[in-house]
Structures are given as C-alpha cells and as structure tokens.
Structure 1
C-alpha cells in the first residue's frame, strides 16, 4: 500500500495525529510506504522511521509557507475562521498530490503498489489528481476517512460570528469543482467519518462508501482508568480548546446550582480565546473553589486530571469528529454531549448521555436536568463506563481500524467484491 498522509505527525494533535496514527498502524500490519509533507519529516525520524524505506517527505514549503504565514497573522485556527483555513488548505493541496504523482507515478504504473490510500487531508473539500491517475494506471484508490461540512445549528448565529465563520454559508461551492467530482468517481472506496460526510456525497457514489469514524485510540497513551464508585460530589471535566463552538460556557451555566451547593466539581482542561470570559463567568457565580482551570497540559497530565472525574461534560455544538469523546471513554469517563454531529454519533445510551440539539437556553435546561439526575443516582455511571471501555477495545483501537482497512483494501485489490 502507498499511504498518502499529507498531515501526519506523532507529536501534534487533531488531524496530524489521526494521519500518523492510522498510517503507522496500517504500516505495522502490512507492507506500506507513507508519503507525507516535509514539515513532518523530523517527527517521523524521531519516531524511528527510515526515510526512503518507510516514508518519503514531499517538500511543498515554497508555495505553502507564505499562505500559512498569512493565516497566522490573521489568527486563523486560533481565533476562529476554520472554514477559511480549510478553504486555504483545499487550495494548496492539489499541488501536493501532483508532487506525489511526480515522485511515485512511474512506480504506480509499474504496479509496485496494490492500493493507494489517501488518509489525509480529512476535509472532503480537498481534491487532487491521484485518484483518476491511479484509475488510469489500473491501481485501486481508497479515499478517507473524510469528514467535515457540519452545518451550524440554528440558534447560534452569535457563536458563528465570534468564530468568524461567514465563509461556512457558501461552503457548498466546492461541489462545483470538477476535480472533486472526478476524484470521487475514480475512487474505489470512500471512507466517511460521519453521517454528515456520507450524506454530503453525491448519491451515485454512496454505494462505494463505508462509514468509519476517523478518530481512534492508542492504548499506550491511555493507561489509567477513572473510579466509578457512585460517590458525590459529581466530578466532571471538560477537555478541549476554549473557543465559542465548544460551548464550555453552556456547561458552566447548566452546572451552576450543583456547583454552588457542593454537589459537583468541574475541571476545565484546555486554553483559548474564551478563557478570560469563562473565568469571569465562574467568578461572577462565586464558584472559584469548585471550578478549576488547568490550561494546556501535557498528554500524561491530561489523563491524570481526567481520571479524577466521573464524566466528560462536553456540550460542543459543532464537532465533526469528537476524538476527545473516545479518549474519555478509553479512560472510563462517561461522556455527556449534545446530540449533533460527531459526538452524537459516537455516544449512545449504553456508553453515555446526550441532550437534544436546540438553542443555548434549551441545551442549558436539558443539561441541568441530566446533571441533576446523575447527582440523584450516580450509580448508573459504572455500567456505562465499563461499556464505553469495552467498545473502545473492540472498535476504536488504531490496530483494529488498520486491520479493517487492510481487509477492505485486499478485497478491492483482488477484485473479489465491492465494499
């Protein structure tokens, strides 16, 4: 397999960690070569991979660096504007695929590879030439998991403005890109990270799509387990960037009566532009003794703080992946989420609790009722915690996901069956 993972880095978070985790898990189980962008080269070498043998780094810095510097000056990704950042990435990405073809095209045509699998970028808007060129060479192409395109829910226009997400209103124009349509047509398999991503495919291509959430778990990074002893106060934590759409403010507002009465504590792990406002919200309610802001923590420290709690209180209203939900489940925490997009698809009544998507006031009321129920009977958490950990072991370890992808690739490459 030739694994194309433009974003793949074991030392970073989010999509680069997904790219690294899946590519390295596949390479551990089959003969594979990883292609990535040169910014990941040093991290690959520190991880023990051999350049030229295990991976190839493609240098596209001469066209990428000026745009990324401009994005940094605009505060994209730190102060919102994620759709604009994704649009910039989609604009840059086709050049990367052309360089991959320039490097590996002759070897693909010579059938040195049985399957080419593009793992990242995850965003479905990034289109390149590899799929159709592999098709012309007679080599199967797997795309994904792709994910994204989650619409802003109604009632949160103020948060969309704070996130500088005006471009999300015209995001669908990428469907007019002929390269995007040709990529989907030429792909033999399309892995979709969510129901939204699947629904975003033209109907004629859904028959070759497989639903597979893009996030997974490396058990070596999650070595501790929360104690679910049914005791009070109810111990909750939030993990993530403190940005408007993650809605930590809703979590605090919903919990105020229980925090004030001593029936609940709240650890907030993460940092971001909303931290000052959240600290002011806590101070105004007089809750400084029971709400702790930990800021950014090293991964080991995150799990050390997290396992002191019983639930992950994570009411994000626009989360296309929700990897933190899986991480919480791996640690034995019970996730409490809003039933929308990624978290809503990952959590069911066996492993967690969720409230309906609605406006901010209704979500706050629903969360408050749910928290009150848990305080009345925290014993329900133990069973959900155990079920969540079991589900992670069965379905979401990177090794299990790699095994499934190799099975799919082998079947398609052998022309035995369609996915």
Structure 2
C-alpha cells in the first residue's frame, strides 16, 4: 500500500512527538511503502540515522516555511501558528506527490490536536487521523493551585480549543477522516462533538525493544535502610502537577526518601520556592533538563514515578517507568489513566485539590513502606508494556486500520 504520512515532528533517538513520528515511520515501513512529509530541520538527524539503518520503503520529503516566519515558533502559542501555516505550505507539494504517485491512504501522525485541522484531508484519498489528543481538561478546582501564569495559559488553551472546534477546516477534517483515533475517551467525546463519524480510542504511546531492554538492564536493588527515590520527569509546566507532588510529600511526613525532579520550564522558580517553604530542601533535587539517555538512567535509578499530570493525552514517562519495572502514582484522568492499571500503580481520583494531595501522600507512604507491593507492581508494569505497548504491536494496529479504511473506501 502507498501511504502519505504527515509527521511534522520526526527524529530518531528522541522521545515524545519526534519519537512518535520516527517510530511510526520505521515500523509501519515494514508493511507499506511510505512517503513522509516532515520538517526540513529534521533532515540532518534523519539522514544520519539512515546511513546505518536504511529504510528502502520510505521516501522522506522535507519542507519548511520561509525563514522570515521562524519567529512564529517562539513560545507555545507561536509554534501552533507556525504549524498551522506549515500544513498549508505543504499542500502544493502534497498535491504534486498525489498526482505522481497516487496514494492509497493519508495518515496524519504528529502534532495532532483535535482542534487543529489536517489540510491533507483535501486530497482525494482516505484519511486516517491520529491518534488525536487534546480533549483532556483540568478537573475540578485545580485551577486555584496554579500560578497566575498557569491560570492565564489554561484560559488561553480553553479559548484555543473553543475557536478550533469552530474552525471550518477542523470540521472539514473531522467530516473527511475515514477513521479518527483518539488518545483518550475525553478526546473521543470531543471528536464526536465536531462531527467525526468513525473513531476509536488508541494510545499514541509505545516503546521500541532497544529502549525497553536499556531500561530493564542493571536494575538497582533497594538495600535495607536505603532511601526510596521518587521521580518526576517532564517539562516544568503548571499542568504537570509537580506542585501537587511536593504538597503531598510534605503532608506524607516521610523523611528517608529522595524526590528527583527532572526537567526545566517556567514553573521551576515557583517549585523551588515551595520546596523551601515546605522544608523539603534535603529531600528534593532539581536535576534540570537532561538528554534522553540521561533521563532514562534516572528512571532506572528511581523506585517510584510520581506523575500527577492534570491533562496529559499520553505520557511516555509512565510507559518508560513501567518498562523499567517501576510502579506509577498518577491521577485517574487523561492518558496516564489508560496506561496505568491497579496492578501497575496507584491511580488517584482527582475529586478536588486538597483530597488529591491527601491521596497522593497516602500512595507515597504506601509504596515507601511496602517493598513487596512496590516490586510486584513493577513486575506487572513491565509485563503490561511488553504485551500492550511495543512499536511492533502499534505498527500492526496501524496496518489493520489501513486495511479497514481502504476497504471501506473501495
């Protein structure tokens, strides 16, 4: 099957969106012939990787907007404008490719928010849209715990979603997509609201075998009396919920523990202030931004991941921690909720902020004091990743969706 893939973010040896793009391409290429539209600044890393691992069934097609438009990429909102314009810019190229090749299917893979359109839907080819995210919202009264910047960002996000749902090109994408894949039930409800007729829930997250083996090798064994190490890993943004984890650590009364915070972002200063105010400076370590390899090493060295994110569509860090045999403490909300099970971690129902902090503290105490439970959850966590979240399995799922979509259109 000849497939045109839109993968704005697509780079080897990366996590998150770039990793989704690269791994989707490299694994789906085992089943189909692919043409991949991606950014020109991804070209050096892609061509370097292809020297050692060629992909004979893949043709990368690079495009970037003119240099004068680069300033749009500054800041979170600016990059969304840049991406919108990038999608418009690739259309003449996509139409030319369609005339020359005649694709059987278009698959839009990365930077997929349900309120952003896919202009490739204008091609006379069946569209597989997603996995699509972004339908998750901050629950309850949690906005009260945000900084002023955080509350402003949340208001901006809500406005962007409201406007996006009314964008005629978003509605066009929803109507034309033969199948839409939603990362969570919350996003599926949003897809239904904007006019998608056929959609399924499917996580965007998976790991390749090399990463899984790296995370499992040389696992540390907790010696008697040794500190339990909690880890939070990700951009330090208001909605990542690290302030909830710090409040829970204070309330837990735990002392013989360490809490590593890996990442950088605009909330770091506020989190450092909370650490000092709560008297946690001896337990909390801010590690800053690390390379992917260094971050994976931190996951290997910890004992529990604490990830109380308030509106994640996916959460690769949960998957990576589970692959390393670490139980996860998260909220029963959004993407992490569909990855973590009661056998692999502790999910907190986010009723309100105070109760959630209490429940997070109880979970931290439980997994600190119960070594057997922590080990058992870790074993179940790794087994779940191996069974459900490999890129090989994800590629097979995409393959089946491709067949279903093209058979429906014929």
- TM bin, normalised by shorter chain, reads 0.7 to 0.9
Distance 1:316 1:329 in 2: 16
Count the aligned residue pairs: 398
How is 1:9-408 mapped onto 2 (pairs within 5 angstroms)? Answer: 9-48=11-50, 54-62=58-66, 65-72=67-74, 76-77=75-76, 84-85=77-78, 87-89=80-82, 91-108=84-101, 111=102, 113-134=103-124, 139-158=125-144, 159=146, 161-163=148-150, 164-165=152-153, 166-170=155-159, 171-202=161-192, 208-222=198-212, 223-225=214-216, 226-227=219-220, 233-256=227-250, 261-262=255-256, 264-408=257-401
| 1:410 positional shift | 2.2
Q: 1:317 to 1:412 in 2, by over 3 A?
A: closer
SS in 2 for 1:196: helix
SS in 2 for 1:191: strand
Distance 1:30 1:186 in 2: 23
Q: 1:403 to 1:53 in 2, by over 3 A?
A: closer
Whether contact under 8 Å (1:227, 1:308) holds in the other structure is: yes
Q: Give the structure-2-normalised TM-score.
A: 0.87
Once the two structures are superposed, residues 234-278 of structure 1 have per-residue CA deviations (whole angstroms, 9 ceiling, x without a partner) of: 32111111222212122122112556532x221221122222332
| 1:311 positional shift | 0.8
Q: 1:36 to 1:18 in 2, by over 3 A?
A: same
Whether contact under 8 Å (2:329, 2:346) holds in the other structure is: yes
Whether contact under 8 Å (1:118, 1:144) holds in the other structure is: yes
| 1:227 positional shift | 4.7
Instruction: Note the residue ranges of structure 2 that are not aligned, 5 or more in a row.
Output: none
Q: 1:55 to 1:150 in 2, by over 3 A?
A: same
Q: 1:96 to 1:389 in 2, by over 3 A?
A: farther
| 1:32 positional shift | 1.9
SS in 1 for 2:112: coil
| 1:92 positional shift | 1.6
Distance 2:354 2:314 in 1: 24
Q: 1:114 to 1:102 in 2, by over 3 A?
A: closer
Q: Which deviates more, 251-260 or 268-277?
A: 251-260
Q: 1:6 to 1:255 in 2, by over 3 A?
A: same
Distance 1:319 1:237 in 2: 17
Distance 1:176 1:413 in 2: 29
Distance 1:230 1:186 in 2: 57
Whether contact under 8 Å (1:2, 1:117) holds in the other structure is: yes
